[in-house]
Structures are given as C-alpha cells and as structure tokens.
Chains A and B, each alone.
Chain A
Amino acid sequence: MIQFVLKRLGTTIPTFIGVSIITFLFIRLIPGDPILLMAGERGMSDERHAKLLAQFGYDQPLWQQYWDYLSGMLRGDLGISFRTKRPVWDEFFALFPATLELSLCAIIFAVFIGIPSGIVAAIYRGKWPDQLLMSTALIGYSMPIFWWALLLIIFFSGTLGWTPVSGRISLMYFFPSGTGFMLIDAWQSGQAGAFKSAVQHLILPTVVLGTIPLAVIARQTRSAMLEVLSEDYIRTARAKGLSPFRINGLHALRNALIPVVTVIGLSVGTLLAGAILTETIFSWPGIGKWMVESIRARDYPVVQGGLMLIAAMVMFVNLFVDLLYGLINPKIRKS
C-alpha cells in the first residue's frame, strides 16, 4: 500500500513539471503587459517601464525567468501578487477554504442524490421512474449554469425570500475566521443565528454548482448498475434469497462504484479548480473568482502559483480516488 502511494506520488513529478511549463508559457502568450496594466490609464514613461520590468525580473530571457520561478517554487516561494502585494501562498490559503467548502457541499449534494437516482433508474429501466430521472438529469446537464442560478435566485430569493442572494454569511455577524470554513467558524462563534445564516447562504450555490456533477453521477451510476445487474454474482445473490434492497444496494452497488467514483473524482477536481461562474454569480470569495481577476490583470505570479496549487489539489484527489479503487474492489488491488 505504502509502496503504491510512493510510486503513484513519483509519477506526479513529471506532471508537475509539465503543468509548470504550460502555465508559465501560456500566461506570457496572452497579449498584454502586466506593468502597463498596473499603471492603468495614466500610462508610464519608457524609463520607468524598463526599470519596473527589471525589478520584477521580466527583462531576463525566458529560460532564466522559468528557472527563477521553478527554484522559487521548490523553496516554497510562489512570489508576490502584483495587485495586492501579498504573497501568492497567503492569498491562496485565505480564499481556498471558501472554494473547498462550496465544492464539498456541492459534491455531497450531487452524490447523495445522484447515486440513489441512478440506482432507482437502473432497477426500473425503461419504465417511467427511469425515464423521468434520466430526462431530468439530461436537462440538468445541458442547462447553462448562470441561467439556472438566476432562475433559482429569482424564485427562492426573490419570490419566496427564503435564501439570501450572495455572499457567505449575513453582514450582521462578525467573528474572526478560524478555519476558513464558514459553517465551522459560524458554529464555533456561538452567535445566535450565525450558523443558520451560513447554511442559508450556502444552499443556492451548492445546488447550482452540484447540478452538473449530480446529472453526470446519476447517469454513470445507472449505466454501471445496468451492467452489474446482469452479472452472474447478482443471480447468485438472488438465489440466496436476499432482499432486493441488499442485492441492489450492496452486491450491485459496490461493484458499480468504480466508474462512479471515477467521475466523482473528476468532478471534485474541476470544482476545486474554481467554480468560476457560480462564485461570480453568488459573489463567493473563492479561488475561481480570484484566478479570473488575476488573469485579467496579467498577475503572473498569482496565475502561475495559483494554477500549480490547484493542480496539486486535483492530483491529490486523483491519488485518493486510485486508493479508493482498491478499497472498493480488492481484485484491482492485486493487478
């Protein structure tokens, strides 16, 4: 097991180098000079421009710049943001908990509705529950996220007034951010109503962000279950006189989980990388919004460092998924 983890970690090194080269080159391929953008509409003299370029090291040849960036990263120094003058590292970890909290809630929402829906659809294949669930899933999958978000806001926030429109918690509450997770911090603050407010703020973004993963998980669960349900060992389970609940929920589901866990892992990866639209619509202070603003400002250190950290998170999730395979199906552990 430990050997497997080490081996698997070893394969991430080339991936990291690849990601670092791509992010380094791509941000420089986008037209636009970060120094001029910083200066804004006033512009600046050529002398000052050259001086600033030299100060940030952008007058060096590309390979030299890449080397500085890489060696900095190995020392744990991701650079300093042009815009805020704060270390990239600090900025990332100030914002990341918000994204993580939202992503986890969205994926939990998607898993807890998606998997049972897929199972039910597979059991009633071709009949009305299957058709209803799968066409709903298809609608969920093909709906533009911003439109879906606006519909929900109009109905639940506007007409019914049940949920707030944006942010992570009502402005009435103030407490120091301990863990960075609003639900935990609000709970620990002990202030009356704080936790409820945090939950209310989380509901709509969770539903919006979780909709597409939910649809994907439901469809994947259905097709995996259909395949498994025709296996010999399901017939054996039925020949033992087991209840349908046990057959479908234990014998079949455990075998069907491999492809489902794969799509869950991939979804978590994309959610962590920034739910840009959702974060923008709900003014959620997460890394998706942060990355978009940084790209717009050609904030090289933030884009490079932020992407590296996001890549690390995605790779970590994938490693975790690989380990999960072996736990779900011991046959995979062997090969």
Chain B
Amino acid sequence: MALLDVNNLTVEFKTSQGQFRAVDSIDISVDANDVLAIVGESGSGKSVSMLAVMGLLPWTATVTADQMLFNGIDLTTLTAKQRRNIVGKDMSMIFQEPMSSLNPCFTVGFQLREALKAHLPLSRSARKIRAIELLEMVGIPEPLKRLSAFPHQLSGGMNQRVMIAMAIACKPKLLIADEPTTALDVTIQAQILELLLELNQQHDMALVLITHDMGVVAETAARVSVQYAGQKVEEQSVEDLFAAPRHPYTHALLAALPERATGKLLPSIPGVVPGQFDRPTGCLFSPRCQFADARCLADAPLASPDDSTSVRCHYPLSNSASVA
C-alpha cells in the first residue's frame, strides 16, 4: 500500500468573482522511500495540492477528495487536533523562501526545539542534544553556536538547512519540499538537493519535490508528475519522461529547456496558463497545443492510466512523435 494515496483531490478558492478551481481532480500516490517530483508552471496548482494534503490552506479554500490516505489514516475524517499530531511529525514540509519561513523573533534553537517539543516526549536537555544532532545532520558547522542565532544572522542556504532540520526533527515518513532551492544560489541549490536525497536514502523518508526546474527533476526524482492549470496531465518514471514524453505539454516543456535547444532561438510555449475566466471547454492545454484539433477543443480528455503511464490527452505522443 502506498504511503500517501490521494484520489480525485479538488481545491477551490472563494474569490470575489466566485469559485476558482486551483486543483482539479488530481491523484497522488507516493510510496515509502519514493521520490516524486511535481512539475508545472506557476499557477498549475502544484503547491496548493500539497498544502491541501498538509492541511495548511487558508479558510477560503474548500478541499474535497474521494480518498486521502496517509500511512493508512484517512486525513479527511480527522479533527484539527488529530491532524496536528500527524503534521510536523510523520509528514512535514519545507518552503520556497527560507528567509521568511523562519520566525524573525525567535532563535533557530528555539524554533527547532519547539518542533521536537510538539511531538516527542523528550526532556529539556534531550531536546537540546537532539537539536544539535539535527543541525549536524543537515551540515551546519558549529551547531551549538548556531542554536542561539537568529534567522537574520544566517544566510539563505543556512536557513533552508535549519528548515530541513526542523522538518526532519521527528523522523517523518514523508517530506514535502515546495521549491526548496528556487530562492538560493546555484551552488547552494545543488548542496540542498544532495542533502534531501541523502536523507531520503538514509532515513527511509519519502520525498515529494515541487519544482518548475526540469534540471532539478532529472537529478533527483524517481517519478515525475506534470501538472497543468490544476490538472495532472502526465505521470511517468523520470527516465521515460525525459526519453519519451507522452503529453504535448510535457513535450513542449522539455523542448523549451535551454540544454536541449538546437537553433538560435529558444523554443517556447505560446500563450499563458488559463486563469479563472478563460478556461477552455475542451482540453485545458488545447489553445496552446500544436497538435490540437476540433475534438481537443470540444471534449475534455480524461486521465487514462495505460500501463505505468497516465496521460490526460486524446492523442498521446508515441515514441516516434516525441523524437520528431
């Protein structure tokens, strides 16, 4: 059984102009020790879907799902208090902006020990020892000294390490990393990703990596889920996805990678992701798709799980098409 098994997850936001569907019937499945990357443009609902799993969305959001199982527990039926016992312990999350994700008024040590205190029956001194151990684990030099530092006294990379230390404090089964390296320097990016993978391998911790960076996906993930305008359009293993993308959107995304560009001009996908009011009736990608025909414009395709691949497209690309 999968560690995280979410079926038909939909998130809607109340706005002044009515309901806005940010996540549209998405399925997510993560096995223990798995590394799943969720990719997509800004506004494709990748962060929102994972925030919904964590239960961190604001009150304006309505979350519905046929099933939301984590570690055998149905998250949809839990009370707020029962949910808090899981969140931060078995399932934790780190965010995009390490500088603003730590509270500026409290020391790093305080915030780290607080995460331990919330879930583990440790004594004061045991918490301190564990906090030092955690800082060491995430590669922070002079951990004892750093405990009394405030977030503004540390660099962005160091702060992200502290965030990771906080997230893994209670040995979670699942760590969700929401664009963990976007705000960091390229050299630091590589170090942080390496650290996350190391923790994934050594501590039996599944990793969900939300990113829009295909390079990051290629280096880290085992499986990739591609989201577009709130829908999952394709899911494949990382090797297959890069070798033979089946959805035209994935194909276009990969073609737009600078590393893969052959001509003088960088290929791009024309148009923008549809917003609240210009959602097409048919396939959501149809206005931007180079292969779209009348059927694509009229009927929305359903997700079709065929063998290990699921593609939301009427005309999935075959291997030959992706090469062409």
- Which residues of A line the B interface, CB within 8 A? 231-233, 235-243, 251, 254-255, 328-331, 334
CB neighbours of A334 from chain B (8 A): 152
Interface centre among B105, B119, B150 (most CB of A within 10 A): B105
CA distance A246 to B181 in the complex (A): 29
CB neighbours of A242 from chain B (8 A): 84, 88, 114, 118
Beyond A241-B86, A241-B87, A255-B104, whether A331 also contacts B150 by CB under 8 A is yes
The closest CB in chain A to the CB of B90 belongs to A241
Give A240 Cβ to nearest chain B Cβ, in Å. 4
Beyond A241-B84, A241-B118, whether A236 also contacts B150 by CB under 8 A is no
CA distance A328 to B114 in the complex (A): 18
Interface centre among A237, A240, A251 (most CB of B within 10 A): A240
CA distance A293 to B44 in the complex (A): 71
CB neighbours of B214 from chain A (8 A): none
Beyond A235-B95, A236-B163, A330-B150, whether A241 also contacts B104 by CB under 8 A is no
Give B77 Cβ to nearest chain A Cβ, in Å. 18
B104 and A233 within 8 A (CB): yes
CB neighbours of B150 from chain A (8 A): 330-331
Give B72 Cβ to nearest chain A Cβ, in Å. 19
Beyond A255-B105, A330-B150, A334-B152, whether A241 also contacts B89 by CB under 8 A is yes
Give B48 Cβ to nearest chain A Cβ, in Å. 13
The closest CB in chain A to the CB of B55 belongs to A238
Beyond A235-B95, A236-B163, whether A241 also contacts B100 by CB under 8 A is no
Extra contacts besides A232-B97, A240-B118, A241-B87 (7): CB < 8 Å: A233-B100, A236-B95, A239-B92, A241-B86, A241-B89, A255-B104, A330-B105
A255 and B103 within 8 A (CB): yes
A241 and B85 within 8 A (CB): yes
Size class of the contact patch on chain B = 20 to 34
Give B174 Cβ to nearest chain A Cβ, in Å. 12
CB neighbours of A251 from chain B (8 A): 103, 105-106
Give A223 Cβ to nearest chain B Cβ, in Å. 18
CB neighbours of B118 from chain A (8 A): 240-242
CB neighbours of B104 from chain A (8 A): 233, 255, 329-331
The closest CB in chain A to the CB of B83 belongs to A241
CA distance A232 to B179 in the complex (A): 14
B102 contacts A by Cβ under 8 Å: yes
Give A231 Cβ to nearest chain B Cβ, in Å. 7
Give B117 Cβ to nearest chain A Cβ, in Å. 9
The closest CB in chain B to the CB of A327 belongs to B105
9 contacts between A and B (CB under 8 A): A235-B56, A236-B101, A239-B93, A241-B85, A241-B118, A242-B114, A254-B103, A330-B104, A334-B152
CB neighbours of B92 from chain A (8 A): 239-240
CB neighbours of A328 from chain B (8 A): 105
B273 contacts A by Cβ under 8 Å: no
B54 contacts A by Cβ under 8 Å: yes
Give B11 Cβ to nearest chain A Cβ, in Å. 16
B88 and A240 within 8 A (CB): yes
Listed from nearest, the 6 A-B pairs whose CB atoms lie closest are A241-B88, A240-B88, A233-B103, A232-B100, A241-B84, A241-B87
